[in-house]
Structure 1
Amino acid sequence: MKTKKILISITFTGFLFLLLVSFVKAPKNDYITVQQKKWVAPASADKIVNPLKGDANAATSGKKLYKVMCFVCHGPKGKGDGMAGAGLTPKPTDLTSDEFQSQSDGAIFWKIAEGRAPMASYKSSIPEKKRWEIINYIRTLK
């Protein structure tokens, strides 16, 4: 009989505990979500002219470079869904979006050259002509 009273008491106490916990708000964590500001190239970048604009061969070459340099983060179709991009904050840009595609070639060229965390700067690792080829390919992703 005494064991039965103890079990009822424990069950009732557990029920009260669960009831109380359901009304108490969970404490907020101490982490602050960091959001980067919109990435905007300087106005001077819009004046940079793509010397390969409209060159189909450049786009073909750019596709090969894209697969080596950009694919892992920006994904096979440029949607920002590459395997390496999944763990990045902010997520890689969707290169097919209207917002991205509305930028000038010069602005995109500047961003590829300068980079911004988590995207690396490719100014010294990808020659200018190859960066333009990548841009020509990216333009086909619309």
Structure 2
Amino acid sequence: MKANFSYLLVMVLFIIGGQFTFAQESDWKAPKTADALKNPFKGNAKATAEGKRIYEQMCVLCHGVKGKGNGEAGLTLDKKPANFLAFKVKKESDGVIFWKITNGKAPMAAYEELLTEDQRWQLVNYIRELEK
């Protein structure tokens, strides 16, 4: 009986986990040129702190406090926001994440005109911090 319960629990967690990573399985791919974009703030703690401030103002509502894609507004969307802790996102280059923030793809807004280039890179820094 205990073995069956453990198996059932693992299967439920697998299914639930699959629902939370579904958004990352989308076909949203940045162009190859995005990989060449270099983060001018990589390793800059002050820029990361500024990225956190921007994240809390502009991103947390959809992506959640810890970046799991489970923010209050995000839960209402048909296509769920990215889970920044998912392997697919972790393996993306800083340039790809910057490109996605810049260009958006519905329901994700494009932030090219709302945030400066520096602010978008600062967000990339903070998203990387969420992974830790």
Is TM > 0.5 for Structure 1 vs Structure 2?
Answer: yes
Which residue, 97, 106, 118 being the options, matches 2:95? 106
> What is the TM-score normalised by the length of structure 2?
0.79
Q: Which amino acid aligns with 1:60?
A: A
Alignment of 1:80-119 (within 5 A): 80-119=69-108
Is 2:126 the counterpart of 1:137? yes
Gaps in structure 1 of 5+ consecutive residues: 1-34
CA distance, structure 2, for counterparts of residue 67 and residue 96 of structure 1: 17
Say what the alpha-carbon RMSD is for the aligned residues: 1.4
CA distance, structure 2, for counterparts of residue 89 and residue 103 of structure 1: 23
Is 2:62 the counterpart of 1:67? no
Between Structure 1 and Structure 2, whose CA radius of gyration is higher?
A: 1
> Where is the helix percentage greater, Structure 1 or Structure 2?
2
Q: Deviations over 1:77-113 (max 9, x none)?
A: 0000000001112100101111101100000000001
Gaps in structure 2 of 5+ consecutive residues: 1-22
* Deviation >2 Å, runs of 4+: none
Q: Which amino acid aligns with 1:128?
A: E
Paired residues, number: 108
CA distance, structure 1, for counterparts of residue 26 and residue 126 of structure 2: 27
